[in-house]
Amino acid sequence: MYAQKSMPELNISRIPNSLLKTSTEVVRSEMGFVEILSKSKFRFRYRKVITILNRKSTRVYIPYGEFTDIKSVSAFIYDSEGQQKRKIKNSDIVDRASYDGFSIASDGRYKAISINNPQVPFTLVYEYEITSENPLFLPDWWFQSDENQAVEYSEFKVQLPASLNLNFRVSRKKDVEMLHSENEGIKEYTWTVKNMMPTDYELLGPSPEAQFPTIYLSLSDFEIDGYKGSASNWTDLGLFFYVLNDQRQSVSEKKQQEVLDLTSSLNSKEEKVAVIYNHLQENTRYVSVQLGIGGWQTFPANYVEENGYGDCKALSNYTRSLLQVAGIESFYTLVEAGKYPKKLSKEFPNSYFNHAILCVPNGSDSIWLECTSQNQPFNYLGSFTSNRKALLITPQGGVLTNTQRLTKEDNTTINNLRINLQANGDAEISCHNSYIGLASDKAFAQLRRSDRDRKESIYKEFDFQDFEVISCAYSDNKTKMPSISETIEIEMEKFGTKSGSRLYLNFPDLNRNLNLDLHSDERNRDIEIRFGGIIKDSVLVKIPKGFIVEFLPKNQHFSNEFGICEYKFISEKDQLFLIKTIEWNSGTYPSKKYDELKELIYAINNSSRERIVLYENID
């Protein structure tokens, strides 16, 4: 890259004031150019000029692998006035294996540029060029990659022979300008944005692609390592993956007999699948092995049998092979795991996927298997891959389907507390809690921890003051929908506050899994609640001898489109009861309903602030 010693246009004073108000960095210009050379090869050139406003370091990553070659990388640093301070030396650009902590073999690598600059603001100018023989994964383009990032100008261009067909999807189209032309047998597409403001973080915001303008690309026809495929529709794309992974389901005769011995006495499909899944969990472990085309082609089933490990593709394929021996049909399934899966539309087939699971048809329902976990309950996907679209890989091609749907009833917490209150306000507390479905995900971790680590976790999570955990125990209930039981014994000082003849009680907040921190009075983005849930609290307080109830808060019931919060207080002889139910509903809601969300959250928070007054009747 040719870089001038002086670039006055990079002076920070040239940045519009409107882009500086809440920014931590400003993209002065960013340009990406994808040149598709054929069905099997493309070139990508990238250049970025970014001003870092308030931190002294930043880092750039450029990933590559067997099918990708980095042709050139260069970078320069400029001061706030646009004067070049230094060129990044080749010795400062490190080349490392993409080691993830569990892979035993991988050809994935990346180049990293670490920038440390004592004076801020500064501007980093860098560019690189790569060639790739993997056109199944064309570059995505994010015009804005962070909420605190402003963008002066960003341009993404794609050029390809007129004989090839480019598919694309644009999120937030209204923010993007597009041009398309075709001349002398070459198609060209250009997308640009200008003067994009930074945005404030908002709790329960939508996915990043719904917040930031993004371009996704795919070729209708492609070729990788001699394998030809089509992304014209989901059927064809799925057929490519089927052919890629076909004829890899053989296991030894010994293993076949073992499977038949395990399942021959069982009657139902579900029983047989459960036994085979348990066998998988007891005899294999997840280790990523990704070499060359192994990044998307599974290792054969006998590889897993012989070695006892595999990645998500290999373990799913192996389980499919074992089920096949038992005469049970199943489908290798591709899915995008994680918090924010991208939208899969019928109109734009694309390989967004980063994970493989297994689907077993079972009448009108399906059995879903997460094959990488030694602890995951049978037929339970959890938040990692549930409630989203996925692609079944069948002999006839790909079929879009919905993964396991978890409702708010499948995310239930039940808290039962028995509090023996002393006259001075101290208390002995017995907690008997149950966590069902999604609510059990954190509790499952407690099963594998030492007693010391379990107690440490409780100290961090409980909203109590001055308490000691005397004992704690956890058990897996082995139910169809996973559930964990928790028993905790606590001694607590000043559960109640003594003042003269009165004892004031504030009930602790038991909703450890509920984040209710909304600061802003206004809302710009849609509200997205990915999973609904239910929390049921039942608290019994044994009133100390000589005390009577002087004041009980009023019972409350609040409900709206977002959920329900109701609680009631009951006094019976020497006992107090608090019964509280909180429910919240999943869904995407327009920003104009933000006040309704705040009303529900206010009701929930207010329920934890209610105070009971006991009076010591000395007479």
Query: Over the stretch 563-600, which tens digit does the pLDDT of each residue have?
Result: 999 999 999 989 999 999 999 999 999 999 999 999 99
* Predicted TM-score of the model (pTM): 0.90
Q: Can you give the pLDDT at residue 376?
A: 84
Under the banding of pLDDT at 50, 70 and 90, the label for residue 392 is very high
Q: Can you give the pLDDT at residue 377?
A: 87
Sort strands 122-132 and 41-52 into parallel, antiparallel or unpaired. Answer: antiparallel
What b/e sequence results for 484-509 when a residue is b if at least 16 CB atoms lie within 10 Å of its CB, and e otherwise? bbbebebebeebbebeeeebebebbb
CB of 397 closer than 8 Å to CB of 239: yes
> What tokens were used for 483?
């559930």
Rounded to whole angstroms, the Cα distance separating 30 from 43 reads 17
Q: Where are the domains of the chain?
A: 8-226, 233-402, 408-616
Specify the fold of 233-402: C8orf32 fold (3.10.620)
Q: Can you give the pLDDT at residue 90?
A: 82
SS3 readout for 307-367? HCEECHHHHHHHHHHHHHHCCCCCEEEEECCCCCCCCCCCCCCCCCCCEEEEEEEECCEEE
The partner residues of 488 in beta bridges, in order of sequence, read 431, 472
Q: Report phi then psi at 462, rounded to 5.
A: -75, 140
Query: Over the stretch 314-366, which tens digit does the pLDDT of each residue have?
Result: 999 999 999 999 999 999 999 999 898 998 988 999 988 889 999 999 988 89
Query: Over the stretch 29-65, which tens digit does the pLDDT of each residue have?
Result: 999 999 999 999 999 999 999 999 988 888 888 888 7
Q: Can you give the pLDDT at residue 2?
A: 52
Q: Can you give the pLDDT at residue 145?
A: 87
Q: Which architecture does CATH list for 408-616?
A: Sandwich (2.60)
CATH of domain 8-226: 2.60.40.3140
CB count, 10 Å around CB of 214? 21
Tally helices (H) and strands (E) across the chain.
9, 39
State which amino acid sits at residue 546.
Answer: G
Identical fold for domains 233-402 and 408-616, yes or no, is no
